[in-house]
Amino acid sequence: MSNNTTNSQPFTAAAIQMNSQQDIEQNLADIKAAISAANNQGAQLAVLPENCCSMGEQSATAERFDELSATIAGYAKSHGIYVLAGSLPCPYRPDGVIVPDGRLRQVSQLFAPDGTLTARYDKIHLFTATVADKKGSYNEAATFEPGTQTVIAPIEIDDAVYQLGMMVCFDLRFPALAQRLRQAGADILSAPSAFTYLTGQAHWSLLLRARALDSQCMVIGAAQGGDHAYKDGSTRQTWGHAAITAFDGTVISSHDDSELHKGNNNEINTDDKNHAMVLAALDKQAQEQGRQKMPIFDCHRLA
């Protein structure tokens, strides 16, 4: 089926904001509730944030990678909706080879409405930064091995196919990746994230909008937000502000706070929900018309 197929009915995506802790079972319950809510609101795709099953405890979580993946796939099947499991730590590469030196891969997976695995993307760009927060220094490469392959996956809705280019968090800082995904046919980019509070405050919205403009794709920014307590007594604060940006850089919908129960978003949140959710529709025909009016990829000379 051609990726140029258009459909008069818009495709609707949900970006989920969570405050994942290190209680995996509670996080799974929150994920299940969020997927159910997205389905009830008419979304065909629910995007979960980075580290959706646990913030920290990467090695212990990676031991359960297959089990956790199967559980989230089951949620996709039971609700009949595409689900992007933002990221899970995985002990093996896509070919099944164990990652050497005790490191892991940071893996984003797309599950179809029948529960099958549609695509796996291993995060290419690993977060390295010094930030003036309680943690101070971040070096994902100490824990993870970078992926090496870009990934684009089809989402089939009725008679239309939408191509999803997959990214994770720090990937947002690299416009060449967004441009390459567009060149491969992407209509939508996924950006499940766990931005620090300070870097998110400075750059999150700007980066979502910039990558949308670079690629002329809708960008779905699912996010971790709030305070995360680690078992060693340390804490981490993430920015949240889940948002979906249109191909022209317009923020279509956003949850305007780090906390789950504050801010303005498309779904009215209540205090008994451990997630926030924003919804946006992709009108592929309007996006194609926008690309034709400003054909930047016909003018692109450096890549």
- Per the DSSP assignment, residues forming a β-bridge with 235 are 229
Question: 298-303 — which CB contacts under 8 Å span 24+ positions?
Answer: 300/179, 303/176, 303/179, 303/180, 303/183
Q: At what angle do helices 65-79 and 24-40 cross, to 10 degrees?
A: 20
Q: Are 52 and 228 within 8 A, CB to CB?
A: no
Beta strands in 21-81 (DSSP E): 45-47
Annotated catalytic residue within 50, 57, 145, 267: 50
Q: Are 45 and 189 within 8 A, CB to CB?
A: no
C-alpha 56/C-alpha 174 separation (Å) is 24
Annotated catalytic residue within 52, 53, 90, 169: 169
Residue 135 annotated as catalytic: no
Annotated catalytic residue within 123, 140, 145, 284: 123
Residue 52 annotated as catalytic: no
What is the bridge-based pairing of β-strands 276-282 and 11-18?
antiparallel
Q: Are 135 and 182 within 8 A, CB to CB?
A: no
Q: Give the residue numbers marked as catalytic.
A: 50, 123, 169
